Amino acid sequence: MGDFKFMNALTSQYSPVRHTEILMIEDDPQDVEIVMQLLEEAHQNSILLSHCSTLNAGLATLSKANKIDLILLDLSLTDTQGLDTFRKIHDAFPTIPLIILSGNSDERIALAAMQAGAQDFLVKGQFDSTVLSRAIQYAIERQHQKLELEYKNLALKALSDQLERANRELESLAAVDGLTRVYNRRRFDEVFLAEWNRLLRDEKPLSLIMGDVDQFKAYNDTYGHRAGDACLEQIARAIAKVAKRPADCVARYGGEEFVVILPNTDLAGATYVAESIRSAVHSLQLPHTTSSVSHRVTLSFGVACQVPDDGMAPSLLIEAADRAMYAAKESGRDRIQVHHADCAINLQSRHTLQWVSRIRDALEKNQFELYAQPIQALQAPTSEPCFEILLRLCDQPGIVCSPSLFFPVAEQYDLMPRIDRWVIKHLFAELGEINALMLQEAIFFVNLSGATFKNMEIASFIAEQLARYNLKPEQFCFEVSETVALNNVEAAAKVTRALKKMGCKVALDDFGSGLSSFTHLKKIPADFVKIDGSFIKGVLDDDLSRGVVEAIHHVSKTMGLQTIAEYVESLAILDCLNDVHIDFAQGHYFGPARPLVDTLATWQTSTFTECLPA
């Protein structure tokens, strides 16, 4: 092996990084001399060129060398021939960029080499000093970019895995009530809906038992809250010992209220279980001297049963059991009241349909009102003010109804697409009138429901309204919740891509609540990630919540997204978010939701005051 080293300290606009170390594996000394002369002609910065004449010698040198930046490889050596030469080097040292030097001008060989991982392919006698210099520079740069991308992908996967692990842990914690150790309300909602849908297919009965501790406030006042907590724990254990089939679900529904889901159980069976629970609670002999019912703790129970039906809202079964429970209380407490009538016939014409009527009237008579809440820039380099658009129902004098009161019914009766269109139309109309008067353009975040993402019509509607009121699409960011996106990724991706194409922005809302990972949502072309408020509330006291927030932020930045923290209620939470470098924050610390016009007027006034000379 003829080994020698060549150092040239000249300069050039095409020069690679200083002290570039190149290994040339070539069995023809004349070709080595030509490469040395070309590098000298190109005025390269300090290139250290090492030479080996055989493949085995080259592999040995690479194994011992601390740092080789690039390999120049001849495919025809005395101990190996063809592409197999390249593969042996590349398989052993895949991170080192490699340029093939060959006397063979066959394009098929060049293409095969490039596809296998070579950075470039130069035919001997057909390149000059400039081509060689550029090939070396670009090969190193491309390899660096490739390795950097691979590192970022590994970092993204690691952070995504970390987030998934944290989410799995949170999921297990989030499903259980912290005091009683039975399931909580959130888990009840999930199980109830899943059982409803399963028994809808099977055409089998689903029963509910609602139980409420009689005069529990008096118990707390007499024995103290610690004793009250212990009382609830014992009651929960007693209920769980009775409803113990694998499919049964016991949950704490409210403060002192419990619920039991009994799949494949008719009304008679559910009543028997309720009586067994009532007897089990009696057996606890928990004293309650201030009760007007008994000297011990008692519960009142409501029982309802329904074979799920496609035309019936699942919430009606819950409402039926709840009504039966309160009927038991009105009848003297410590008893079981059975809801005998069909839940849909009995209840659909009452409370639920009253809300349906109010929502439809509000859409027709414009009895909704747009509210706005400021979104404050923390780390984000932007001067544009941001606001989230919210909705309130104002159909009764002096009463403002939050969406939490009517959105569930609107979702059940497929009214959400109409509500979304009402919001967009009226927001655009109001901004069309006042935009010209505003000192500065703002960005408005608008929520879109899951039902709206089921077809592309919303994108056309938004485009029409933008044109109608002469508004810029860059002013609007449309939010899709993580859960909605995951339920139908393809549909959500199609709509969001259309919104992005017209110039609007997109935000992933409530991120973390769906317990997914970013890898599932790469198809959504988002600009922002809004971190679920339940994590933000816990950042001060819960290390897990803070870890999830940090993980979401790091993964978001890796993907080029900006983060928004919801439910920022205090300076302490804000300081914590600043430490994590969250980009935006939103919550009552900055200001509550107020009517849109009032919010913009207040912002205009404060902005105008800031602009006045001192």
**Does the residue 166 lie in any domain?**
no
Residues 233 and 382 in one domain: no
**Does the residue 598 lie in any domain?**
yes
Residues 208 and 330 in one domain: yes
**Does the residue 177 lie in any domain?**
no
What burial letters (b/e) apply to 450-467, b meaning 16+ CB within 10 Å?
A: bbbbbeeebbebbbebbe
Please check the confidence at residue 442 and state whether its pLDDT lies above 80.
yes
Nearest CA to 227 out of 289, 318, 305 is that of: 289
- 506: domain CATH number? 3.20.20.450
What burial letters (b/e) apply to 489-527, b meaning 16+ CB within 10 Å?
A: eebbbebbebbbeeebbbbbbbbbbbbbbbeebeebebe
Number of domains in the chain: 3
Please check the confidence at residue 8 and state whether its pLDDT lies above 60.
no
Q: Tell me the average pLDDT across 178-187.
A: 92
pLDDT score, position 510:
80
Considering 149, 169, 203, which residue would you say is the last residue of a domain? 149
Please check the confidence at residue 614 and state whether its pLDDT lies above 60.
no
**Does the residue 544 lie in any domain?**
yes
The CA distance from 588 to 591, in Å, is 5
Coil/strand/helix, residue 545: helix
**Does the residue 241 lie in any domain?**
yes
Range of the domain at 28: 5-149
Residues 65 and 192 in one domain: no
The residues near 205 (Cβ < 8 Å, ≥ 6 apart) are 199, 264, 265, 266, 267, 305, 306, 307
The residues near 602 (Cβ < 8 Å, ≥ 6 apart) are 594
pLDDT score, position 257:
96
- 67: domain CATH number? 3.40.50.2300
Better pLDDT: 93 or 518: 93
In the block, residue with structure tokens 């839940």: 343
The CA distance from 101 to 91, in Å, is 18
The CA distance from 396 to 358, in Å, is 10
pLDDT score, position 222:
94
Please check the confidence at residue 613 and state whether its pLDDT lies above 60.
no
Please report which confidence band the pLDDT of residue 18 belongs to, taking 50, 70 and 90 as the band edges.
Answer: low
**Does the residue 552 lie in any domain?**
yes
Residues 447 and 309 in one domain: no
Computed from CA positions of residues 487, 491, 495, 496, in that sequence, does the dihedral angle turn out positive or negative?
positive
For the chain, the residue count is: 614
Q: Tell me the average pLDDT across 22-50.
A: 85
- 206: domain CATH number? 3.30.70.270
Q: What is the pLDDT of residues 381-435, one digit of tens each?
A: 777 899 999 999 999 888 888 898 888 888 877 789 999 999 999 999 999 888 7
Residues 125 and 217 in one domain: no
Nearest CA to 299 out of 274, 278, 283 is that of: 278
What is the DSSP track for 346-384? HHIIIIIHHHHHHHHHHHHHT-EEEEEEEEEESSS---S
**Does the residue 346 lie in any domain?**
no
pLDDT score, position 572:
94
Residues 430 and 558 in one domain: yes
pTM comes to 0.50
Residues 487 and 605 in one domain: yes
Span of 82-86, 96-100, 459-463 with lowest mean pLDDT: 82-86
In the block, residue with structure tokens 């009105």: 330
**Does the residue 489 lie in any domain?**
yes
Q: What is the pLDDT of residues 190-230, one digit of tens each?
A: 899 999 999 999 999 999 999 999 999 999 999 999 999 99
Please report which confidence band the pLDDT of residue 5 belongs to, taking 50, 70 and 90 as the band edges.
Answer: very low
Please check the confidence at residue 540 and state whether its pLDDT lies above 50.
yes
Question: What would the two tokens of residue 66 be?
Answer: 């601390």
Residues 478 and 549 in one domain: yes
Annotation says 41 is catalytic? no
Residues 459 and 594 in one domain: yes
Over pLDDT 70: what percentage of the chain?
A: 90
Residues 118 and 221 in one domain: no
The CA distance from 62 to 74, in Å, is 16
Q: Any long-range contacts for 586-594 (C-beta under 8 Å, 24+ apart)?
A: 586/373, 586/374, 586/375, 586/376, 586/388, 587/533, 587/536, 590/373, 590/374, 590/376, 591/373, 591/374, 592/373, 593/371, 593/372, 593/373, 593/388, 593/390, 594/371, 594/372, 594/373
What is the chain's mean pLDDT, rounded? Answer: 86
Residues 386 and 489 in one domain: yes
Residues 31 and 85 in one domain: yes
**Could you say which of 26, 195, 256, 550 is catalytic?**
256
Considering 321, 340, 359, which residue would you say is the last residue of a domain? 340
pLDDT score, position 311:
76
Residue ranges with strand state E in 91-205: 98-102, 120-123
31: left (phi over 0), alpha (psi -120 to 50) or beta: alpha
Considering 149, 168, 193, which residue would you say is the last residue of a domain? 149
pLDDT score, position 344:
56
Which element (helix H / strand E) includes 389? strand 386-396
The residues near 322 (Cβ < 8 Å, ≥ 6 apart) are 210, 302
Span of 46-50, 347-351, 532-536 with lowest mean pLDDT: 347-351
